[in-house]
Amino acid sequence: MRLPFRPLLVAGVALASLAACSTDLAITNTNNADITRALARPSDLENLLAGGFNQVVQNTTGGANDNINNSLLPEVIDSRLGMPITLSLVYIFVGHRCGLEFSGVGLPGHFLIRHREHFFDPFHGGRRIGLAECRALVEQQSLELTASHLEATTERQMLIRTLTNIHALAAERDPELGSKVRMWAGILHAHGR
């Protein structure tokens, strides 16, 4: 079975390798293979989605946003703690493996997943939320909810947003990484949608 967002999975693992100051391609390939194997075991994935993952992820609001590891896919898979967008990506992979097609929804200030007309918040245990809650999330950014806020994001948009999150965290703590990440996001912005 072909994984959705395969290039995004590979990019996420490569980014984690570079952010961890390891450009060893053997490590990147090993991590990628480990993640692919983990995503291919239905029993592990069902357990992850059904119980343990949601319990660990619940109410991780404050601490999850200031730790760069929570934007790095392999770290998020290991710890089950992460930024909303990275957790959403895990849910997309897990959902696909379980026969559910999820897409990412990039609200201003928060990231959700969508299955048909239903929205879920992986950052808060994967709980289902309605349009009123989506509207409230957008209003926290002093904006009004529009139909475009609820559209599926592309792989490129998800990667750019992840890079933007990492840049915000790395700019002061690790200026070299922050500079690289800003450059990568700029390249993605410049080369299409």
pLDDT the model gives residue 80:
73
Q: Which domain holds residue 15?
A: 6-151
pLDDT the model gives residue 111:
95
| Alpha carbon distance, N-terminus to C-terminus of the chain | 26
pLDDT the model gives residue 185:
87
Q: With respect to residue 133, please indicate whether it lies within any of the assigned structural domains.
A: yes
* Segments of the chain scoring below 50 in pLDDT: 1, 21-36, 38-39, 42-63
Tens-digit pLDDT profile for residues 150-183: 999 998 899 899 989 899 988 888 899 889 888 8
Answering whether pTM is above 0.75, one says no
Tens-digit pLDDT profile for residues 47-65: 444 444 444 444 333 345 7
CB atoms within 10 A of CB 97: 21
Q: With respect to residue 143, please indicate whether it lies within any of the assigned structural domains.
A: yes
User: Three-state SS for 41?
Assistant: coil
Q: With respect to residue 180, please indicate whether it lies within any of the assigned structural domains.
A: no
Q: With respect to residue 161, please indicate whether it lies within any of the assigned structural domains.
A: no
Q: With respect to residue 32, please indicate whether it lies within any of the assigned structural domains.
A: yes
d(CA 76, CA 49): 14
Angle of helix 84-97 relative to helix 25-40, nearest 10 degrees, comes to 50
d(CA 70, CA 142): 26
Q: With respect to residue 116, please indicate whether it lies within any of the assigned structural domains.
A: yes
How many structural domains are present in the chain?
A: 1
d(CA 193, CA 190): 9
Q: With respect to residue 22, please indicate whether it lies within any of the assigned structural domains.
A: yes
Q: With respect to residue 114, please indicate whether it lies within any of the assigned structural domains.
A: yes
Environment class of 193 (CB within 10 Å of its CB; exposed 0-12, middle 13-18, buried 19+): exposed
